[in-house]
Structure 1
């Protein structure tokens, strides 16, 4: 990761956008809640209302076909002199259980109070290991 990236920004932002690509090259972008531990980004496929199971979500299917993903984490203000975004390109994996899965859930619950009452232990967690991170600020 670039030494110039503001890790505090990555750890404190509440929402990002995840881009995946299907087998035919069609992109899909979804908002997502995440945690960053300094090495990887984690996001739970949680209990919020979805029309299909986590396994059938388009992002899950796309990651199985093509694990290369992009994330955008941004800060917007009407004063465009305060704009900032980070573009992350990385490789995604789906975690179903194990020590890393459990640690990701702990971190997500620390950051998001809403997750404390959800049963996440049996839900998949997306892990994204960045291979490129670029930051842009208007300053």
Structure 2
């Protein structure tokens, strides 16, 4: 398992994340994306309309390193933020879906940061995935 139970549980409550990729000239790009944790592959799968034609999908040809962040405000009184950041390698993939073949960006986690999601942990935690 690439993510802990607590990380997977938190991600299951969220619908939107932000995917950062690097363009061919080294320029960063950060986009809101829909996602799902894929327990079968231990990856985070990014889906979207016309994904294979998007710049983020094309960026993976030259640089497969990505960062993906999901966060939210659990409370404003008191102020409490929580979230998960995944850094790793991404690959374009095609998976079979309910309506046929579907393009996805599949993120293979290498480093995972989390904050505010585990009542036993204070501050930010960092794990490296072997």
**Range class of TM-score, shorter chain:** 0.7 to 0.9
**Structure (1/2) with the larger helix percentage:** 1
Runs of at least 5 residues in structure 2 that lack an aligned partner in the other structure? 123-130
| Cα distance change of structure 1 residues 37 and 11 upon mapping to structure 2, 3 Å threshold | farther
1:129 aligns with 2:108: yes
**Structure (1/2) with the larger strand percentage:** 2
Runs of at least 5 residues in structure 1 that lack an aligned partner in the other structure? 47-52, 107-118
Aligned residue pairs: how many?
Answer: 114
TM-score, with length taken from structure 2: 0.74
State how far apart, in whole Å, the 1-side matches of 2:5 and 2:104 are.
28
TM-score, with length taken from structure 1: 0.70
In structure 1, the residue matched to 2:14 is 13
Give 2:70's match in structure 1, choosing from 58, 70, 73.
73
Give 1:86's match in structure 2, choosing from 64, 84, 87.
84
Structure 2 counterpart SS, 1:66 = coil
State how far apart, in whole Å, the 2-side matches of 1:9 and 1:45 are.
21
Runs of 4+ in 1 over 2 A off after TM superposition: 1-6, 53-56, 77-82
1:44 aligns with 2:38: no
Deviation, 1:61, is 1.2
Contact 2:24 2:62 in 1 (8 A): yes
State how far apart, in whole Å, the 2-side matches of 1:94 and 1:40 are.
12
State how far apart, in whole Å, the 1-side matches of 2:105 and 2:72 are.
23
1:23 aligns with 2:21: no
Contact 1:17 1:71 in 2 (8 A): yes
Structure 2 counterpart SS, 1:59 = helix
Structure 1 counterpart SS, 2:58 = helix
